[in-house]
Structure 1
Amino acid sequence: MKVVEELRMNGGTGDNSYAKNSPFQRKGILMAKSITEKAITSLYTSLNNPKSISIADLGCSSGPNTLLAVSNLVKAVDNHRKKLRRLHSPEFQIYLNDLPTNDFNTIFRSLPDFRTEMGDGFGLCFFNGVPGSFYDRLFPADSLHFVHASYSLHWLSQVPKGIEDNKLNICLTSASPPNVTKAYYDQFDRDFSTFLKHRSEELMKGGRMVLNFFGRKDENPDYDILLELLGVTLKELVEEGFVEEEKLISFNVPIYTPSPAELKSLVEKDGSFIIDCLEDSQIHWTGSESESESGDDNNIGNTNDGAYVARCMRAVFEPLLVSHFGEGIIEEVFRRYRNMVAADFKSLMAVDTYIIVSALIKK
């Protein structure tokens, strides 16, 4: 699988788009808001009344979550400016990064609405699209003040090598042998170490970075039940002759969810950053969006049913499935998946999902 070419969220603003089906990720951004605000205001104070601040949002995807993260940062700086009684707001150079297949057009079309919603009084925001993998260099040396990445770094740069023993599983599961688990971790080790190396070159001394991960609480295995269930759906189609077995065997999702200890170890091994904060929290799929003060722009109906979960999963994984299996099975896959989730909804939703938020300072 060529991740750079095939990995993207569903674009546009239709019923199956990521823009309309990412309230779960929105909750995570809001849960990390206090940590993010502390990091950006601490940076602003240290810069001593800067004329401009350069911010990169890596793995920005598309839809309202992209500009939510940016607006939170800009508002936090302006509020802190007023507390410090500084007269002039800095201008903001905003870099929105994702893979070249990302739907940047939807983001750019929403910028006039963003500026209207922000209103007057804030520093000018200059937006730039930066297509490319964040596992490569993206910016000139010492050019960034702040880096933000939310729900993107659990995606690996490639499917790990040497995982043939994972058989018909599409991800790490309780049935995956130890060598497969090690292969996934080793790939994450290489990727995250590369990420840190490049960001240390691009960030100015004293620059901040806030990274928001899907993760796990401790060193014990913690498998993605909802993703595993998608694999069960595909197995059914193999058993009924709709999908070739070899086709499923050769499909693995490039995702690894780290523990806080693993992240801490890799940051310390790199040596370029001070860990200012490293926290893990539980996040729940269900519940009304108003509980996360998210407004109506991402309201897709009842969040307490299987159809809701199926739409959210489809918005993320449909492009990968289409690229590997073709479009012909997609409707059937998610029809069955929706029914499977609905049949055991309460027990599935009772399983905790963890996010890890890390705030780092460039030495």
Structure 2
Amino acid sequence: MVMKNVGHMNAGDDETSYANNSALQVLSLPLSLSLSLLVFCSLSTDSLAILLQKGVILKALPVLDDTLRDMFAAAESCFPKIWKMVDLGCSSGPNSLFVISHILDTVEQLCRKKNFIVSNNSPEFEVFLNDLPDNDFNNLFKLISGQVFGKDKKRRCFLYGLPGSFYGRLFPSNTLHFAYSSYSLHWLSQIPKGLDRSNKENIYMARTSPREVFEAYAKQYQRDFSTFLRLRGEEMKAGGRMVLTFVGRSVEDPSCKHYSAHYTLLSQTLLDMVAEGLVKMDDLYSFNVPIYMPCVEEVKTVIQIEGSFNLEKLHVFPVRWDAQDNIINYENDLVFDKHRSGKLVANCVRAFMEPMLAAHFGSSIVDELFERYAEKMGEHLCEEKYSSYYTIVISLSRKSK
């Protein structure tokens, strides 16, 4: 399975769309408990997911802001005539536009501090929104508001959709100033080569997976991330910067159950459906998820060996699976609702997994699959209420050419 064919999020803005279910990317808004309880009691599951957007992004903003300040501290006495940036893996939800607006606001403020803006003339920006060709760019552009163009709507900002894989060339050489990516780089370019049916009923790396499965995933990640860095190095100007946020591991052992539980529960759900004749065993044996969550040492090693960038900053922080867990005190068991939590997490997973599952197993099983998955997820969260995954944020600078 090649990602460019099915590696897009659910389109549109309905209940199972990515736009309405990107809470796994955006969990930890600093809301007071009283406001949180009020919101929790009055909003639907999907509205709650929308409200919780930007949380993980907000946690990563200090790295983003420091990177922009460092970039301008090293800048010469003038601002480029056109400042070009790209969001790599923008998807179709509002998160991309929130970050772009923040970046442009910050750049304008830094320009003023360094007297790069003359006669109140705003600098010109070219902003590229990149994702795979099947991404719902139409929905993304519908979400664009005046905020991207500044409060007075006088910002000279030109936005473009840029369909294509970031594992291929996207820009001419030496033209890009800044690149940003949030929750995209853990996606591989394809299912690792050589898996065939060796992973059996597992759809990802699991404790019962043979050693060659772990090796195949690790090698594919190393190839893909190295390719990504090499291509961005060709496209980016010397001194250009990248801020990349992606799902990772806090430990070196990839078989640790905490990092595969999402997919273990999903494979168990599929296995149940195999037992009932709803899914073919051969289809399950031939399905693997093209995702890899690297540990910090793997990230550092690829950056060092590839050689195009300096690693300026690296931060790791945990994020709870359940979006509600960030605003509700679960020590009070009366508040926790496993059915609501299970559905919320299942909808988030469905938003990015459905296209692949439908292409492989057929769309007719998807509703039933995620209803069962939500039940299993609710039970899991009931037993392990503090399940977390880890987010890695890195800041890179392009070496002199």
> Given the two structures, how large is their TM-score scaled by the length of structure 2?
0.83
For the Cα contact (< 8 Å) 2:320–2:326, is it kept in 1?
A: no
1:23 aligns with 2:23: yes
Match of 1:63 among 76, 93, 98: 93
Give the alignment of 1:102-117 within 5 angstroms.
Answer: 102-115=135-148
Give the alignment of 1:110-189 within 5 angstroms.
Answer: 110-115=143-148, 118-120=150-152, 123-163=155-195, 164-189=197-222
1:241 aligns with 2:241: no
CA distance in 2, matches of 1:348, 1:103: 35
| 5 and 90 in structure 1: CA distance in 2 versus 1, 3 angstrom threshold | same
1:49 aligns with 2:97: no
| 84 and 170 in structure 1: CA distance in 2 versus 1, 3 angstrom threshold | same
In the alignment, residue 4 of structure 1 is paired with which amino acid?
Answer: K
Task: Measure how far apart 1:341 and its partner are.
Answer: 1.2
Partner of 1:228: 264
For the Cα contact (< 8 Å) 1:146–1:207, is it kept in 2?
A: yes
Task: Measure how far apart 1:346 and its partner are.
Answer: 3.2
1:273 aligns with 2:309: yes
For the Cα contact (< 8 Å) 1:341–1:348, is it kept in 2?
A: no
1:338 aligns with 2:371: no
Partner of 2:226: 193
In structure 1, the gaps of 5 or more residues are 292-300
CA distance in 2, matches of 1:125, 1:211: 22
Partner of 2:41: none
Query: Aligned residues, how many?
Result: 353
CA distance in 1, matches of 2:148, 2:231: 31
In structure 2, the gaps of 5 or more residues are 27-54, 328-336
For the Cα contact (< 8 Å) 1:81–1:89, is it kept in 2?
A: no
Question: Whose radius of gyration is greater, 1 or 2?
Answer: 2
Alpha-carbon deviations, 1:128-184, whole Å to 9, x = none?
A: 111111010110001100011111111111101222321111111111111100000
CA distance in 1, matches of 2:152, 2:116: 17
For the Cα contact (< 8 Å) 1:218–1:261, is it kept in 2?
A: no
Q: What is the root-mean-square deviation of aligned Cα atoms in Å?
A: 2.1
Match of 1:312 among 348, 352, 364: 348
> Given the two structures, how large is their TM-score scaled by the length of structure 1?
0.92
Partner of 1:2: 2
CA distance in 1, matches of 2:385, 2:94: 25
In the alignment, residue 244 of structure 2 is paired with which amino acid?
Answer: L
After alignment, is 271-280 or 36-45 more displaced? Answer: 36-45
Partner of 2:322: 286
Secondary structure of the corresponding residue to residue 74 of structure 2: helix
CA distance in 2, matches of 1:329, 1:286: 25
1:11 aligns with 2:11: yes
Task: Measure how far apart 1:196 and its partner are.
Answer: 0.7
Alpha-carbon deviations, 1:101-143, whole Å to 9, x = none?
A: 1001111122245447x41276321101111110101100011
For the Cα contact (< 8 Å) 1:302–1:308, is it kept in 2?
A: no
CA distance in 2, matches of 1:142, 1:74: 21
CA distance in 1, matches of 2:61, 2:199: 37
CA distance in 2, matches of 1:186, 1:219: 15
Partner of 2:31: none
